[in-house]
């Protein structure tokens, strides 16, 4: 029985990707539906508890500082920053909760609580408050699977410094187990200072232009006279994301939608 199970598991592992995806999708849409619903309910109740605590704190703060206009303005600015991303998005989108899982591979793929019923389609870009998270790979009726930028096959066309620098960003390992991004193919003459924001270039028709991808941390490779590679600090760490926006349009410029930290 052990060898049979082992062979079956190996066969699934080696099976073509469409078959494996269909199998995983089938399990999610049948056996796992009640369990995923339970987990989403838990996530929502957690968010509501946090919101309730925030509202109570805000009420207490409001009572304490009533009449102090500068303090209220500060509070107002903070709340606007929290809600800002959604209101600043200039393209159609849906918001979803991330349903994290226990495997060490969590963060490479994410299950999000919105699916085909909400208008989500394959390849839809996924963003969070800081910037790019990834794109939708599998769409079920009520959930979607997102491949994040940490996925080994992820690569994206990016730009920086008002399009003076263009290259390809893909996942790279930082020190230890930290996932970073590598910006490749930057012409040798193109100097990119540390701290420069790198955003999506909008090429390829998948991602709109202007979504922050990362920030330059230094040069990691130089091919003399040809090109340089830069290490990027990611704008968003997928494993730490609890809510995302899935964009329902893949064109446009979202530069104004994100604020630089």
Partner 1 sequence: MNGQGSGLKVGIVLFALVIMHFTVRPLIGHNDVAPDFMLLALMFYAIRSRPGYAAIAGFSIGIVADALSPVAVGSSALAHTVVGYLQAWGKAVFFPDNLLVTTGFLFAGVWIRNLLVLLAGSQLDGMGLFWAMGTWSVAQAVTTTVTGIVVVLVFRRWFKIEMVQ
Please give the residue ranges that form the binding site for partner 1 (CB under 8 A). Answer: 1-2, 5-6, 8-15, 20-21, 23-25, 27-28, 31-32, 35-36, 38-39, 41-43, 46, 99-106, 108-109, 111, 138, 145, 151-152, 173, 176-177, 239
Q: Which is nearer to partner 1, 43 or 253 (CB)?
A: 43
**Shortest CB 47 distance to partner 1, Å:** 11
**Shortest CB 260 distance to partner 1, Å:** 27
Q: Which is nearer to partner 1, 5 or 69 (CB)?
A: 5
**Shortest CB 155 distance to partner 1, Å:** 16
A 10 A CB-CB count for 66 gives 10
Q: Which is nearer to partner 1, 64 or 103 (CB)?
A: 103
Residue 174: Cβ-neighbour burial (10 angstroms; 0-12, 13-18, 19+): middle
Q: Which is nearer to partner 1, 32 or 219 (CB)?
A: 32
Q: Which is nearer to partner 1, 20 or 81 (CB)?
A: 20
**Shortest CB 48 distance to partner 1, Å:** 12
**Shortest CB 123 distance to partner 1, Å:** 16
Task: Output the CA angle 33-239-248, nearest 5 degrees.
Answer: 65
Q: Which is nearer to partner 1, 42 or 68 (CB)?
A: 42
**Shortest CB 105 distance to partner 1, Å:** 4
**CA 109, CA 122: separation in Å to the nearest integer?**
14
For residue 225, what are its two tokens?
């006279």
Q: Which distant-in-sequence residues (6+ apart) come within 8 Å of 126 by Cβ?
A: 112, 132, 133, 134, 135, 136, 146, 148, 244, 245, 246, 247
Q: Which distant-in-sequence residues (6+ apart) come within 8 Å of 71 by Cβ?
A: 65
- For every residue of 31-79, DSSP letters joined together read TTHHHHHHHHHHHHHHHHHHHHHHHHHHHHHHHHHTT-HHHHHHHHHHH
**CA 222, CA 240: separation in Å to the nearest integer?**
32
């Amino acid at each position: 029985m052990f060898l049979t199970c082992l062979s079956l598991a190996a066969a699934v592992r080696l099976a073509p990707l469409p078959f494996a995806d269909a199998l995983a999708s089938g399990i999610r849409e049948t056996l796992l539906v009640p369990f995923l619903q339970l987990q989403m309910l838990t996530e929502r109740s957690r968010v509501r508890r946090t919101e309730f605590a925030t509202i109570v704190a805000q009420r207490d703060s409001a009572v304490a500082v009533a009449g102090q206009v500068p303090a209220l303005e500060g509070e107002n600015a903070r709340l606007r920053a929290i809600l800002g991303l959604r209101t600043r998005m200039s393209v159609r989108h849906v918001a979803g909760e991330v349903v994290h899982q226990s495997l060490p591979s969590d963060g490479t793929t994410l299950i999000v609580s919105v699916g085909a019923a909400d208008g989500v389609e394959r390849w839809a870009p996924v963003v969070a408050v800081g910037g790019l998270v990834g794109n939708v790979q599998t769409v079920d009726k009520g959930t979607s699977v997102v491949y994040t930028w940490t996925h080994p096959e992820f690569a994206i066309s990016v730009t920086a410094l008002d399009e003076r620098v263009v290259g390809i960003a893909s996942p790279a390992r930082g020190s230890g187990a930290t996932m970073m991004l590598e910006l490749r193919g930057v012409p040798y003459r193109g100097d990119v200072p540390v701290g420069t924001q790198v955003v999506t270039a909008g090429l390829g028709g998948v991602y709109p232009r202007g979504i922050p991808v990362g920030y330059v941390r230094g040069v990691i490779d130089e091919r003399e006279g040809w090109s340089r590679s830069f290490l990027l600090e990611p704008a968003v760490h997928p494993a730490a994301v609890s809510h995302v926006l899935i964009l329902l349009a893949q064109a446009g410029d979202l530069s104004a939608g994100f604020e630089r930290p």
